Amino acid sequence: MESQNILIKNAKILNPLGNGKTEEKNADVLIVEDKISEINKEIEESNAEKIIDASDKILMPGLVNTHTHISMSLLRGIADDLELDSWLNDYIWPMEAHLNREYCYIGALLGASEMIKSGTTCFSDMYFYMDGVAQAVEEIGMRAVLSYGMIDFGIKEKRENEFKENISLIKNHNNTADGRITTMFGPHSSYTASVELLERVRKEADRYNVGIHIHMNETMKEINDSKEAHENKRPFELLDSIGFLNSDVVAAHCVWLDEKEINLIKNNDVKVSHNPCSNMKLASGVAPIGELLKENICVSLGTDGASSNNNLDVFDEMKFAALLQKVHTLNPKLANADEVINMASYNGAKALNIDAGAIEVGKKADLILLDTKHPNMTPQSNTLSSNLVYSANGSNVDTTICNGKILMEGRKLLTVDEEHILSEAKRAIIEMKELKEAESE
């Protein structure tokens, strides 16, 4: 893709400030190469090769999805209305046994198309055949943090294989695609990974200087099982006892936490990825977001996979995040629109250690424009945050820019052939279902 300077004229800007607040302003924004280079009232048009008139548009940072399994977009709708344990064991894992690199590549293109079309510019993934996922990210132009989902169930040979996979992902893809792709270790959870695996992950993450992406405290069953297996230790206590916790850990879910665990998260600066849709759909529970925010813990948002959501629209996730806390605590002020905008942008970027998530000079140009000329965006609310969290949805996104390149304009994907991706995805899931049928015969 050619790099061209882009000038966004007359935008209404919503900028998250990182303290749970946002600011609104009207200005022009100039993008030079991969960065925001100027924000001013009137920027000369001669500075840019490409001019976008944003008179009827809202400009905000591209959304950051800090926990997903992108290729699970192929498994959308294959198993609904189940709790986590049965969902995984009886439906998802048997189907995932038939994945291969090609399917994960197609699934990643499908998921990435959906994310770009709903205003997400960066995601953190934990899955399999990550080389295929990396190829999809390279081609489509998003930003991503990739990890391999390591599961050993205490089996030594399996453990060796998991390290081989995750380390080869790091060696082949960390800091590639013009810096759009970085990597992490992805130990699946403390119930599927042994203490030996988790201890070694900590050492290797330090050695390779990458972060760690893990599922934590998702269900009550997980807490009870952990206490039974590990001398009454809850999952965060177990990880603390082996020196695992640090500011580079992104912990997905964090639904069932006691006071001691919240302190461990705070004292170790662990980053939380809140996944309200998945937690509601799998009937896992309600994360104590109010308590976490009170402690100034960095809370970001994730969709989880499309098989427990069932879409990858972070606008939906923002609305659910706000509403769930209100109905659960009977406090309408909790998780207000400004806080939720910060979670989905500024905090997400911070959790993933990327230099984006805000509209500031010098930040990466990961930006989206929403069209206000839609019935659901009319009239304008008192604040832009209110419009974006309570009224908008992903299909109001008109333009998506990542690393200074336009990936979607006027709702058309520019880097890939969307129709081809949709037909390939349909073919892939039919083939997988046939493979599964054949196996059970």
Ligand X SMILES: O=c1[nH]cnc2c1ncn2[C@@H]1O[C@H](CO)[C@@H](O)[C@H]1O
One residue of 28, 222, 304, 338 binding Zn ion per CB under 5 A: 304
One residue of 202, 215, 234, 350 binding ligand X per CB under 6 A: 215
**How many C-beta atoms surround the C-beta of residue 102 within 10 A?**
13
Return the sign of the alpha-carbon dihedral for residues 274, 123, 167, 152: positive
DSSP state of 139: H
Report the greatest alpha carbon distance in the chain. Answer: 68
Cβ at position 252, least distance to Zn ion in Å: 5
- Contact by Cβ (8 Å): 344, 292: no
Cβ at position 132, least distance to Zn ion in Å: 19
**261 is an interface residue for ligand X by CB under 6 A:** no
Helix (H) / strand (E) element for 100: namely: none
Cβ at position 199, least distance to Zn ion in Å: 22
**149 is an interface residue for ligand X by CB under 6 A:** yes
Distance, CA of 405 to CA of 408 (rounded, Å): 9
Pairing of strands 6-16, 22-32: antiparallel
One residue of 69, 180, 200, 350 binding ligand X per CB under 6 A: 69
- Contact by Cβ (8 Å): 128, 99: yes
Distance, CA of 392 to CA of 414 (rounded, Å): 23
One residue of 211, 305, 348, 357 binding ligand X per CB under 6 A: 305
Q: Which residues pair with 23 in a beta bridge?
A: 15
One residue of 12, 76, 143, 188 binding ligand X per CB under 6 A: 188
**96 is an interface residue for Zn ion by CB under 5 A:** no
**336 is an interface residue for ligand X by CB under 6 A:** no
* In 88-210, beta strands by DSSP E: 120-127, 143-150, 181-187
Residue nearer to ligand X on the CB measure, 13 or 428: 428
- Of 3-11, 225-233, 301-309, 390-398: span binding ligand X (CB under 6 A): 301-309
Instruction: Give the burial class of 209: count Cβ atoms within 10 A of its Cβ; 0-12 exposed, 13-18 middle, 19 or more buried.
Output: exposed
Residue nearer to Zn ion on the CB measure, 66 or 342: 66
**218 is an interface residue for Zn ion by CB under 5 A:** no
Q: How many residues bind ligand X (CB under 6 A)?
A: 15
Binding site, residues?
67, 69, 96, 188, 215, 218, 304
By CB under 5 A, name the binding residues for Zn ion: 304
**Contact positions vs ligand X (CB under 6 A):** 69, 84, 88, 92, 96, 126-127, 149, 188, 215, 218, 278, 304-305, 308
